[in-house]
Amino acid sequence: MACLKMILAARSGVIHRTHDLLRTALDYGAYRCENGIIRGLIYAPFVEMIRREFGVYAEIVTNIHATKIPALLAKQRLFIASVHPAIRRPENHPPRKGGHLVLVTQSRPGELRFHNPSGHVGRTQCDARLDTDIFELFFRWARHGRSSRRQPMAHDGMTVSERP
């Protein structure tokens, strides 16, 4: 919900409560709750939710390398990327990829800039910068099998814009 909060705040200046966003996401089936534990984001209903509720358009992206994110940013404004949570400490290699979302906002040749509110220090939170090759170590880009709507979707991320 942190990426959605940032997108909405940037668009309107309104900071939505995480709890309210989560409740809406649960209503749309964008998250599932098992024994009181919220499980990973399910992209398809999330895309529908943000379009209907907030007029934000998103497209699910699969099977891309981090080097392709700058081209996506050139077409759309933002990219929500699935990365390993260890990106909070990028000097450490992750044990696997994906499972945590960050908001990629800009790119320069060989570098991606992103927001990660759960970063441990300032340089890994707001406007964090990583070489694209290092970002790739954390980024979920491997080929994935199909998932049912009841399971978290194993996608690489979503492009986000204010219009389709």
Q: What is the mean pLDDT of residues 54-70?
A: 91
Q: What is the mean pLDDT of residues 1-29?
A: 94
Using alpha carbons, list the distances in angstroms from residue 1 to 57, 83, 109, 146: 16, 15, 29, 24
Q: What is the mean pLDDT of residues 32-45?
A: 88
Closest CA to 99 of 111, 114, 81: 81
Helical packing angle, 18-28 and 2-12, nearest 10°: 110
The predicted structure's pLDDT at residue 126: 81
Using one digit for the tens of pLDDT, what is the confidence trace for 79-131? 999 999 989 888 888 888 878 899 999 999 999 999 987 776 777 678 899 99
The predicted structure's pLDDT at residue 151: 34
Using one digit for the tens of pLDDT, what is the confidence trace for 73-85? 998 889 999 999 9
The predicted structure's pLDDT at residue 143: 36
